[in-house]
Amino acid sequence: MTRVQRLAILLVLAGCVADPALESSDEQAATTAFANDKPAFDFFIAKGLTPVQAAGIVGNLDQESGVDPNSVQYGGGPGRGIAQWSVGGRWDTSSGDNVTAYASQQGMSRTSLTLQLEFIWFELTHIGYGYAQLTAATNVTDATLAFMDRYEICGTCASSQRIAYANAVLNAYGNDAVYSATYVSQSWPLASMALTIHCGESVPAQIVLKNTGGKAWNTETKLGTTVPRDRTSMFAGPDWLAPNRAAAISGTVAPGSDGTFKFSFTAPTGDACVPGTYHEHFGLVQEATTWFADSGGGPPDDQIEAQIAVVPADGTGSGSGYTGTGSDVGGGTDGASQSAGCAAAGGDASWLALLGIAFVRRRRHRC
């Protein structure tokens, strides 16, 4: 007995499906429970959902039916299809909202996987069923629960199993759909140490990151200011693309390859230069598309950091007369700023080990 068959039988015993047979597929996924997980995940990605949101839906469909469009609820219950819509309701009779009528309008079989996926999208975007909550979700758990509570509206939901299925789907297929990076090296000290810059001085800087996502980087892949995002940096110099964009990739960086961002930290001059210690934060953004942290990848917004000690131009003073953070200095944006217009970021604990800069120092002091 295969792993897929064992998992399907467990679903039958749980009262979710009557027949473990799946819609035919030439290629069975090796790391998820059901053959139709990937086509379902790809469908919702193509509709514009993020990987975590698409995985949240598919995790629910795994629990409901094994993503089997021919599924009939175990024991002769009313549930039908991949989402187990009820006979006498959303399967065949609900006015303006049932699979049977929608299939007739589309000229397709109601047991078609594509038709049923399209019907889910129709219900989400035309009727509701938690679309706002789903599209606001930035992690797998929230996305799974939003779809479970507001679309499936199940009785005995087995939420932990749905979340486990969703995580498996994201782990198997998410990297194909995300922008992601991991740390390789940087020219300035790690954030536990300060980079000293004199007023008016410009210090060359570069950071090397590995493309660990499924999409190539290009000239629209940029190092942007964060904490908060699109913050105007007081250290932006003439080589910056904009006050909130330090640098961009030159050429193309394929998945698995390293990309280098080169720029300078330039301290202000005159009265604008206030000696003190500042914290600059950066994140990666695919311009006009997504921040990497929002696509299911990384780094998180607070993980690429530079601690900068600004001292007078003559070199006197310790720079201790003022302590601020990047969010306190130049906190707005101006007409030259650029924004991808995306939502708040998620996190990735692996960045703590790779970058070695953040929470240990920040728990000791906040300067």
50: containing domain? 3-176
- Whether residues 141 and 210 share a domain: the answer is no
CATH number of the domain at 286, please. Answer: 2.60.40.10
Res 297: pLDDT: 72
Query: What is the structure's pLDDT at 15?
Result: 38
Domain count, the chain: 2
Residues 164 and 185 placed together within one structural domain of the fold? no
Q: What are phi and psi of 148, to 5 degrees?
A: -65, -50
Residue 329 backbone dihedrals phi, psi, to 5 degrees: -115, 125
Q: Are residues 171 and 188 in the same domain?
A: no
If you ran DSSP here, which 8-state letter would residue 212 be given? -
3-state secondary structure of 270: helix
Q: Which residue has the higher pLDDT, 42 or 246?
A: 246
Reported as a pLDDT band with limits 50, 70 and 90, residue 183 is very high
Asked if 239 and 284 sit in the same domain, the reply is: yes
d(CA 364, CA 3): 48
Q: What is the pLDDT of residues 300-352, one digit of tens each?
A: 999 999 999 999 997 554 333 333 333 333 333 333 333 333 333 333 434 43
User: Is the domain of 196 the same as that of 316?
Assistant: yes
* 323: DSSP letter: B
| Nearest to 153, CA basis, from 127, 118, 126, 117 | 127
CB burial string 13-27: b at 16+ within 10 A, e below: eeebbbebebbeeee
The CB density around residue 364, as the number of other CB atoms within 10 Å, is 9
170 and 207 housed in the same domain: no
Question: Average pLDDT, stretch 43-49?
Answer: 86
205 DSSP β-pair partners: 263
Global pTM? 0.50
Rounded Cα distance, 61 and 75, in Å: 19
Per-residue pLDDT reduced to its tens digit, 251-282:
999 888 999 999 999 999 999 999 999 999 99
Same domain, 216 and 323: yes
Residue position matching structure tokens 């800069």 = 357
Phi, psi of 142, rounded to the nearest 5 degrees: -65, -40
Q: Which of 116, 144, 176 is the last residue of a domain?
A: 176
Is the pLDDT reported for residue 195 higher than 80? yes
Angle at 221 between CA 41 and CA 324, to 5 degrees: 110
d(CA 179, CA 170): 14
3-state secondary structure of 309: strand
- 292 shares a domain with 154: no
Last residue of a domain, one of 176, 208, 230: 176
Are residues 8 and 141 located together in one domain of the fold? yes
What is the distance between the alpha carbons of residues 149 and 143, in angstroms, rounded to a whole number?
10
Helix, strand, or coil (residue 310)? strand
Q: Are residues 309 and 195 in the same domain?
A: yes
- Same-domain check for residues 172 and 192: no
Average pLDDT across the chain, whole number: 79
From 120, 142, 176, the end of a domain falls on: 176
Q: How many Å from the N-terminal Cα to the C-terminal Cα in the chain?
A: 60
What is the rounded CA–CA span in Å between residue 359 and residue 75? 53
Please say if the pLDDT value at position 248 is more than 50. Answer: yes
Buried b (16+ CB within 10 A) or exposed e, 220-256: ebbbbbbbebbbbbbbbbeebbbbbbbbbbeeebeee
Contact 61, 67 (CB under 8 A): yes
The answer on 192 and 163 residing in a single domain is: no
pLDDT at 23: 35
